[in-house]
Amino acid sequence: MRRYLVKVAYLGEGFSGSQAQPPETGLRTVAGEVRSKLLLTDHVPEDRIDLRFASRTDAGVSALGNAIAFYTEFKDPETMLRALNSVSDGVYYLAYREVDDAFNPRIADKRYYRYSCPADRMDLPAFREAAELFEGHHDFKRFAKNETGKSTVMAIDSVNVRLRGNIIETDFCANYFLWNQIRRIMAAVMQVGLGMSSLQDVKEILAGRDGTFGLAKPEGLTLLDVTFPGEGFTFPEECPYSRRIGRDLFRDGLRSGFHRTLMDRYREETG
């Protein structure tokens, strides 16, 4: 058997998070989808797959560049990617890297996330100023879900805000992130942008005053990439999921067309 680290992408709306859930819950997860397709295309025993994720994502959160490690009987990794993409429902397998038995995908170099939200009614300068408060070394106790025994003191390397059309994109980079950290940060930033909270409120709570701004919706969050020390990933010369992309783009076009027609019909009826 060989062990590979595989770069994967998925839309969060189709999954109840990345981590496996007990069968009796009936919840569809990224781990469950990957495992079922490995069993379908591979000959590795289920108890030897040893599927591990680089980053955990909650229900509704998407990924363009998460990474998973597992054992496989495939001799050719490009054949493996094509086989998995041919049967997958919701997960795209992008690239690969062979790793040894001791490799732990949780020990990554950097993680990159993006949160996207509507620009409507947002005060962009105030939004940006609030976001930049979180750059650097802080105690994020009020901006993360409590995990027993885990320190909330850490550093966010960079926070960058840009306006793209009618969408505000906020990019984060750090070695790791705490549970719900970005969604709690973005709830505060958006409240400032909408005039519902002040910069001073955010500064005081970041400094330790008791309080919370809630939790931003998961659909706006995307894990852009996870990088690792050493050699990079190998991307096949021929895209291993090109046929699926064409099908999915057609389906997305039908969905967009439905919503456009719905709005056009309203305008026609109301003059």
CATH number at residue 71: 3.30.70.580
Whether residues 94 and 118 fall in one domain = no
Residue 234 is assigned to a structural domain of this protein: no
Domain termination site, one of 71, 104, 137: 104
Looking at the DSSP bridge assignments, the partners of residue 53 are 68
Residue 25 is assigned to a structural domain of this protein: yes
Q: What DSSP line would sit under 222-263, residue for residue?
A: EEEEEE-SSS-PBPPSS-TTHHHHHHHHHHHHHHHHHHHHHH
Structural domain harbouring 215 = 110-224
Amino acid 126: pLDDT:
98
Q: What is the pLDDT along the chain (271 residues), one digit of tens a residue?
A: 999 999 999 999 989 999 999 888 999 999 999 999 999 999 889 999 999 999 999 999 999 999 999 999 999 999 999 999 999 999 999 999 999 999 999 999 999 999 999 999 999 999 999 999 999 999 999 999 887 778 999 999 999 999 999 999 999 999 999 999 999 999 999 999 999 999 999 999 999 999 999 999 999 999 999 999 888 999 999 999 998 898 899 999 999 999 999 999 999 999 7
Q: Hey, is 173 helix, strand or coil?
A: strand
Residue 30 is assigned to a structural domain of this protein: yes
Whether residues 89 and 125 fall in one domain = no
Domain CATH number, residue 158: 3.30.70.660
Residue 232 is assigned to a structural domain of this protein: no
Domain termination site, one of 36, 71, 104: 104
Q: What DSSP line would sit under 49-115, residue for residue?
A: ---EESS---TT-EEEEEEEEEEE--S-HHHHHHHHHHH-SSEEEEEEEE--TT--TTS-SEEEEEE
Domain termination site, one of 208, 224, 240: 224
Task: Specify the amino acid at residue 227.
Answer: T
- Which of 49, 38, 13 lies closest to 88, judged by CA? 38
Whether residues 219 and 130 fall in one domain = yes
- Which of 169, 182, 255 lies closest to 217, judged by CA? 182
Domains in the chain: how many in total? 2
Whether residues 44 and 87 fall in one domain = yes
Residue 251 is assigned to a structural domain of this protein: no
Whether residues 139 and 216 fall in one domain = yes
Whether residues 99 and 139 fall in one domain = no
Q: Give the global pTM.
A: 0.93
Looking at the DSSP bridge assignments, the partners of residue 174 are 111
Whether residues 94 and 133 fall in one domain = no
Whether residues 72 and 116 fall in one domain = no
Residue 42 is assigned to a structural domain of this protein: yes
Burial 96-131 (b: 16+ CB within 10 A, else e): bbebeeebebeebeebbbbbbbebeebeeebbbbbb
Residue 244 is assigned to a structural domain of this protein: no
Whether residues 127 and 214 fall in one domain = yes
Looking at the DSSP bridge assignments, the partners of residue 199 are none
Whether residues 190 and 141 fall in one domain = yes
Residues with active-site annotation: 58
Whether residues 21 and 88 fall in one domain = yes
Whether residues 131 and 153 fall in one domain = yes
Query: In this structure, is the dihedral angle defined by the CA atoms of residues 262, 264, 268 and 271, taken in order, positive or negative?
Result: positive
Other Cβ atoms within 10 Å of 191 Cβ, number: 19
Residue 200 is assigned to a structural domain of this protein: yes
